[in-house]
Amino acid sequence: MPLFNYIAIDKEGKQKEGTLEVGSQNEAIARIKEMGFYPTQVAEVKDASGDDAIKKAAAKKGKKKGELNFAFPTVSGKELTQFTRQLAVLIDAGLPLMRGMTTLAKSTSNPYFKGIIIEIGLTIEGGSTFSEALAKRPKIFDKLYINMVKAGEIGGVLEIALNRLAEFMEKSQSIRGKVKAAMFYPIAVMVVAVIIVGILMTYVIPKFKTIFTDMLGEGEGLPEFTELVLAISDAIKNNVFAVIGGAVAIFIVFKLIVNKTKLGRRLLTNLSSSCPCLATWCVK
């Protein structure tokens, strides 16, 4: 059925705008009058399927290719959950998938995610299924998401699958938020402890070395453990930037190994069973 954009006046004289999906312009006018409005303009949307809207949005997106964008493009879990929930509601209301994608693309405030929705719509228009279009963006839509959508398409219950996905993601975000809140205190304690140890090693202990040297007579040496602590202090003091850079490099390599390799993921799975907080910190 075609879409009609309308502009009308309500009983208080205020202007109202909206869109109706009816068979003809006369039906649109009759529907507007039933709502208690006086129609001043009723025009058919030439692109009832939403395809041209997607193409125009994609063209608009590509107009400023020469501009530099220093913002790192991301799609948050909240945005993905909202997209999934809204798309499920639109499909459940009887709206075609392409038109639902067009509507969500227009209402999305994140320009990066908006471009992705547009590209998914164009992929569907080219003959691919919804799950196949999602599979081209594995960094945003994981295997669970894609397989759930594929099962919903095969079973003809896409809106139910999307609703289940939205519920799962909402619960997952809630649990993750609680774990992050619980991890804040131990992480803060660790950071403070590292700072204190760094100050002791680079500023306090070197002064003790001078004191010990003045107190001891000639030929008398310090205990071995004290010598070891003083040597570590000298090494840290003389190579501060190397120590910081090495710590950062070890942290990055560790996270890459945990997140990108099968062995790391297996280690993370075993770690999550014994210490869920530490496992969550590793993948943050």
Q: 156 and 90: one domain?
A: yes
> 195: Cβ–Cβ under 8 A, 6 or more apart, which residues?
none
Q: State the pLDDT at residue 148.
A: 92
Q: 101 and 26: one domain?
A: no
In a domain, 82, yes or no: yes
pLDDT along the chain (284 residues), means of 10: 75 74 79 78 62 50 45 78 88 82 84 88 84 88 91 89 91 86 88 87 81 67 79 81 79 67 60 49 48
Q: State the pLDDT at residue 161.
A: 92
Q: State the pLDDT at residue 68.
A: 43
The number of folded domains in the chain is 3
Q: State the pLDDT at residue 172.
A: 87
Q: State the pLDDT at residue 165.
A: 92
Q: 103 and 156: one domain?
A: yes
Q: What is the largest CA-CA distance in the chain?
A: 109
In a domain, 128, yes or no: yes
- 123 vs 119: CA distance, rounded Å: 6
Q: State the pLDDT at residue 162.
A: 92
List the domain range (segments joined by +) for residue 245. 239-284
Q: 141 and 105: one domain?
A: yes
User: Looking at residue 20, which CATH number applies to its domain?
Assistant: 3.10.20
Q: State the pLDDT at residue 3.
A: 79
Q: State the pLDDT at residue 220.
A: 64
